[in-house]
A = this chain, B = another copy of it.
Amino acid sequence: MTLRQLKAFLVVAQTLNFAEASKKMFMSQPAMSLAIKSLEESVGGQLLVRTTRAVSLTPEGKALYERGRRLVAEWDAMEEEMRQRFALERGLVSIAAMPSFAANQLPDIIARFRQRHPGINVQVNDVVAEETVELVRDGKVELGVTFRPEGLLEQDQFTPLCVDQFVAVLPPQHPASEYDSVSWQQLSGDEFIALQRPSMVRVKIEETLSAAGIPLDVAFDSHQLATVGRMVGAGLGVSVAPSLCRQQMLDAGARIVPLNNPVIESELGVLTKRSHELSAAGQAMFDVILHCFSARS
């Protein structure tokens, strides 16, 4: 019993006419006879009653018609779904990103992706960097965007996007806010506003300062980047953030000035599981992300 035979049978069952059915199946009428005959042999009995002038269904034929029609419909739907998945006309891509990226670059990326592939749903997990790594490793998401994690495993594949140089976030009235660049020492007199742990941004800052022997005295902290920006904008103090957050900080009313002595930098990239298990949709998203960064650099 072949799929083609069943489809042929269904058409004959509908039309009750071999000749007409053959046309619809794009085969000759004798071929249709053979196909039906072969189908009947495979199930062990007659499905169609052929008098020379009319064709009708046996009770078994009716039963096969009902079940077969549903089955073939499901089959066609399955075929179409698979085709659509590969054609990027349908699908799902799940992505995790650390907040500083999710709130700044990601919306534009998703917009561009969505414009190119309107049929593909995008699930975004806006979580801290550590959790981004976990989600990728657990297969909960296909892609994770984060700073290069510490303990990369064999199964992890990290594709760098850019090296992010952290910047000073200053209130408009701060004297250094008009400088071309600012050093840590120039900020030492100000109240420092930080992100709370377990933010990767906080960790990176502490690591670098600790290595440079510079003490960090945190006056306020928040776990929301937006809040930090607002606090700076309100003149409560200064902060340091990845340059990814530039626009978000400006919107919050803060000023951005390059930071040095020491430079704090971190490598932004896309984390995936090795062994190339990306779905077509995931690969497409990956390509869009890469394209956005290669175009800017």
In the complex, A68 has a CB within 8 A of chain B:
yes
Among A55-63, A184-192, A245-253, the one that faces the other chain is A55-63
- Asked whether, in the complex, the Cβ of B64 is within 8 Å of the Cβ of A82, the reply is yes
- Asked whether, in the complex, the Cβ of A78 is within 8 Å of the Cβ of B67, the reply is yes
- Asked whether, in the complex, the Cβ of B86 is within 8 Å of the Cβ of A280, the reply is no
- Asked whether, in the complex, the Cβ of B277 is within 8 Å of the Cβ of A60, the reply is no
- Asked whether, in the complex, the Cβ of B277 is within 8 Å of the Cβ of A83, the reply is no
In the complex, A74 has a CB within 8 A of chain B:
yes
Measured CA separation A49–B142 after assembly (Å): 16
- Asked whether, in the complex, the Cβ of B3 is within 8 Å of the Cβ of A2, the reply is yes
Number of copies: 2
Interface of A is mostly: helix
Question: Per a CB cutoff under 8 Å, which of B45, B58, B275, B277 touches A277?
Answer: B58
In the complex, A71 has a CB within 8 A of chain B:
yes
**Cβ contacts under 8 Å, A74 to chain B:** 71, 74
- Asked whether, in the complex, the Cβ of A82 is within 8 Å of the Cβ of B63, the reply is yes
In the complex, A218 has a CB within 8 A of chain B:
no
A130 to chain B, nearest CB (A): 24
- Asked whether, in the complex, the Cβ of B279 is within 8 Å of the Cβ of A43, the reply is no
In the complex, A1 has a CB within 8 A of chain B:
yes
In the complex, A81 has a CB within 8 A of chain B:
yes
**Cβ contacts under 8 Å, A81 to chain B:** 63, 67
- Asked whether, in the complex, the Cβ of A280 is within 8 Å of the Cβ of B75, the reply is no
In the complex, A44 has a CB within 8 A of chain B:
yes
- Asked whether, in the complex, the Cβ of A60 is within 8 Å of the Cβ of B280, the reply is yes
A63 with B49, Cβ < 8 A, contacts A56-B277, A68-B78 known: no
Measured CA separation A78–B63 after assembly (Å): 10
**Cβ contacts under 8 Å, A150 to chain B:** none
In the complex, A87 has a CB within 8 A of chain B:
yes
Write the chain B residue with the least CB distance to A80: B43
| Contacts A49-B275, A51-B275, A59-B279 known; 13 new A-B pairs at CB < 8 A | A1-B79, A44-B82, A44-B86, A44-B87, A49-B277, A58-B279, A59-B278, A60-B279, A60-B280, A63-B82, A64-B78, A71-B71, A71-B78
8 nearest interchain CB pairs?
Answer: A45-B86, A59-B279, A44-B86, A43-B82, A3-B3, A67-B78, A60-B85, A44-B83
